[in-house]
Amino acid sequence: MRKYNGLTIIHGALFAALLTACASRPAEHTEAAPAEAPQVPSSAVPEAVAAAPSAPSAAVALRSDAPLRYVVKKGDTLWGIAGHFLEQPWQWPEIWYVNDQVKNPHLIYPGDVLTLVWRDGRPMIVAADGVSADVDYLSPRVRELPLDQAIPAIPLDAIRDFLKNPRLVDADELRQAPYVLSFVDPHVVEGTGSLLYLQNVPARGDTRWDTVRLGQKFVDPDSGEVLGWEGTPVGGIEIRQFGSPATGLVTDSEREVRAGDRLIKPQIETLAANFYPHAPAHKVGGRILSVYDGVSQIGQYQVVTLNRGARNGIEPGHVLSILQANRNARDPYTGKLVRLPELYAGTLMVFKVESRVSYALVLKAMREIHTLDRVEKPQDGERL
């Protein structure tokens, strides 16, 4: 993941940052909420906040036990903190104040104090750096912090193994891809430091390539479109001599290189851990194509592939409901199969997007989840 050091963060006086749903935190982080949170007069709110809409577009589902004060600690996630305040995570942007003085206003850091207040009947979060939550935090302040110290949106441990694993290889890329022909030394498989013969390498082209082994073929279950093939990373190869065949050196390997493995251009890592959870503005109508570790049932903190990507308006941070689909029951009297209604089964969040597909982490599993279950924009009143 790319890191940016020395980023200047300006904490505007007031964040409205009620976050999103579904985790718990140790008791020492929070204080029990009284019947009514403190009111903040309009005069005490920065002009940018005061100009915000007086009410969100949908009723904000605030937890009945939401704390009045929360101190952000190392190891927290945005999703986890949000669970202290909101019942429905996709409502977060409705009440998050975007401070235009800050380069990335969604970042929250260990040591920040989040305080629940109300303004004109609307819940807000007052955010300040440091451990004081008194009125002093209403003054803007500047601090230098590396971007990578901000808390991530989701547990990075849950996706760390995935980051060096399958990527999508589309049909055009596959048709043009060079491949491993054989080994300079007579072995069936080779690893780091081995010399290989390669076929179909463009003359005087790129010298560095990634090697992948093709896995399952992804086909959109609704349209029948071939979305691509799952490419499992094998290692890196450096071209030592162009020609037909060309000669290459295995510079690093995660698996043994085999004849037939494909060469594709290295992928620029675009994963950002600091996106924020939000619902898409449009219907999604997607399905779960596969689960990373290949099990039949899908549970919490497993990575799934969706048949919707950037071309469908999907972006990192999109929170989607998982709906059990294609379920049938046999009528005991007629013997006919009856299609059962879709049923809410869990919640996932997209963390990586390609053109035709995206990858998401299951954050909540209420019922059994399977491939081909539907994913859709969360609905009002839906308890996530």
pLDDT at 369 over 90: yes
Give per-residue pLDDT as tens, 292-330: 876 667 999 999 999 999 999 999 999 999 999 989 999
Looking up tokens 């909540």, which residue turns up?
A: 364
Q: Which sequence spans correspond to the domains of the chain? A: 7-154, 163-264, 286-376
Give per-residue pLDDT as tens, 151-193: 888 888 888 777 767 788 988 888 889 999 999 987 766 788 8
13 confidence band (pLDDT: 50, 70, 90): very low
**What is the distance of C-alpha 159 from the center of its chain?**
9
Structural tokens at position 235: 């290692």
Mean pLDDT of 4-15: 33
Reading phi first (left if > 0) and then psi (alpha if -120 to 50, else beta), residue 82 is in: alpha
Question: Which residue pairs, CB below 8 angstroms and at least 24 apart, start in 99-104?
Answer: 99/10, 99/11, 99/12, 99/15, 99/48, 100/48, 101/10, 101/12, 101/140, 102/9, 102/10, 102/11, 102/12, 103/7, 103/8, 103/9, 104/147, 104/274
Looking up tokens 């901000």, which residue turns up?
A: 150
| CATH homologous superfamily, domain 286-376 | FlgT, C-terminal domain (2.40.10.410)
pLDDT-above-70 percentage for the chain? 70
- 136 Cβ contact list (under 8 Å, min separation 6): 128
